[in-house]
Amino acid sequence: MQTYPLKSITIEEAALKQFKFVDCISQVFPGNELLSQGDLGVVPGLNKPETTDKVEKVLANFFGTEAALLVRGAGTNAIRNALYRAIGPNKTIMIHDAPVYPTTQVSLDMLNIATIKVNFNDIEEVIKVINDKTFDGILIQLTRQKPDDAYDSEQLIQAIRKIHSEIPIVTDDNYAVMKIPKIGVEMGASLSCFSTFKLLGPEVIGCVVGKKTYIELLKKDSYSGGLQVQGHEALAVLRGLTYAPVALAISARTSQELFDRLNNGELEGIKSARIANAQSKVVLVEFEEAIAKKVLEQAKEFGAAPYPVGAESKYEIVPMFYRVSNTFLQYDSLYEEKMIRINPMRAGADTIIRILKQSIDKVEKANNRKE
């Protein structure tokens, strides 16, 4: 299996993103307000906390776009809202010919949006379909939906824009924000959607950034006080995003070190290792024998997290040893028996290799006793 992971920014580039983000904060907020927990409620004239409004201005400025909106329901509801206002119910959109992320499929079903599947890895095919068929918008997931995905999202968006300069393009930027140089709107998309929980922020808060015309409609849709993101939650989004770039860049560097060491034969019993975006950037470890499930059972005893919380959330510190993602399993179900994915989180390669070795050794001892 050949994989084509997204190119991560370096630690130095991540530091520059952090500095830029802090500069954007300082241009909107007086310093004393950052030392508070923000305000609450539907402030007259804004219909939301003043702090939340300011945070949205920071986000729009940072991503160089017209507007931003914090929403409840994390990345899933950010995408759902974007599809609703940028494209609308009972419409038809173009998507990649790959397994659709399950919660995104629910959104498509809820809105009764029909899909035209096209291989995004083949730009010529995309251009042909755009010229031959009629549709109302496009949904692009920046991270990989199947192992052999290799498309360049910016190249894809620019090719579409040359033909349809105004067609709504919504990007699912989950697992990509603060990891790669640009997000969807910076590449030319209409709206970008992501979860701030995946960026060291608070639970359940998502973000939509992009064209003001769509976001103003979404603000009206979120009129109810119960849908507002409160000031303290918005500030938590800022704090998480400040620290996320460097933390994620360190994790990406650790993934590369782990990839190199495992493929150089440091551990017996491992056939190969690959780096992939599935959906977050992980190391896929393939064993020589069908011991993946048994290794996962043992790894938690030696310190690994056995399942995700928010996929790189503020709660996830130790490395995660987990099954291969459902979308990858739809591509080939055999991966379930011989492969696991490892997300370093905040761990170093030494810790991950130690847990792997201890887990493999225990599984082998148990197998030998049975024989």
* pLDDT per residue as tens digits for the range 75-104: 999 999 999 999 999 999 999 999 898 999
In the structure, what pLDDT confidence band is assigned to residue 1 with cuts at 50, 70 and 90? Answer: low
* Distance of alpha carbon 211 from alpha carbon 68, whole angstroms: 8
Q: Provide the pLDDT for residue 367.
A: 79
Contact 199, 218 (CB under 8 A): no
Q: Model confidence over 298-322: pLDDT tens digits?
A: 999 999 999 999 889 999 999 999 9
Average model confidence (pLDDT) across the chain? 95
* Residue range 227-275, pLDDT digits in tens: 999 999 999 999 999 999 999 999 999 999 999 999 999 999 999 999 9
Mention every residue, 6+ apart, whose C-beta is less than 8 A from residue 323.
Answer: 292, 293, 296, 329, 336, 340, 341
pLDDT mean over 116-124: 97
Give the span between the Cα atoms of 298 and 363, in whole angstroms: 8
Judge contact between 110 and 239, C-beta under 8 A: no
- Residues 283 and 246: their CA atoms lie apart, in Å, by 19
Residue 105 identity (one-letter amino acid):
Q
Least confident of 96-100, 185-189, 193-197, 213-217: 96-100
pLDDT of res. 67: 98
Q: What is the pLDDT of residue 280?
A: 82
Task: Check whether 109 has a pLDDT greater than 70.
Answer: yes
Higher pLDDT, 346 or 326: 346
Per cent of the chain over pLDDT 90 is 88
Q: Is 200 left (phi over 0), alpha (psi -120 to 50) or beta?
A: left
pLDDT at 141 over 80: yes
**15-49: pLDDT as tens digits:** 999 999 999 999 999 999 999 999 999 999 999 99
What does the block give as tokens for 68? 């931003």
| 3-state helix/strand/coil string of the chain | CCCCCCCCCCHHHHHHHHHHHHHHHHHHCCHHHHHCCCCCCCECCCCECHHHHHHHHHHHHHCCCCEEEEEECHHHHHHHHHHHHHCCCCCEEEEECCCCCHHHHHHHHHCCCEEEEECCCCHHHHHHHHHHCCCCEEEEECCCCCCCCCCCHHHHHHHHHHHCCCCCEEEECCCCCCCCCCCHHHHCCCEEEEECHHHCCCCCEEEEEECHHHHHHHHHHCCCHHHCCCHHHHHHHHHHHHHHHHHHHHHHHHHHHHHHHHHCCCCCCEEEEEEEECCCEEEEEEECCCCHHHHHHHHHHHCCECCCCCCCCCCCCCCEEEECCHHHHHHCCCHHHHEEEEECCCCCHHHHHHHHHHHHHHHHHHHHHHC
Residues 6+ apart with CB under 8 A from 308: 316, 320, 322, 343
pLDDT at 224: 92
The Cα 251–Cα 245 span in angstroms is 10
149-186 per-position pLDDT tens digit: 999 999 999 999 999 999 999 999 999 999 999 999 99
* Predicted pLDDT at 371: 61
* CB neighbours of residue 342 within 10 Å: 24
Spatial separation of the C-alpha atoms in residues 156 and 128, rounded to whole Å: 13
Q: What would the two tokens of residue 251 be?
A: 């994790």
- Residue carrying the six token digits 């001892």: 365
79/107 Cα distance (integer angstroms): 8
Q: Contact at 8 Å (CB) between 41 and 31?
A: no
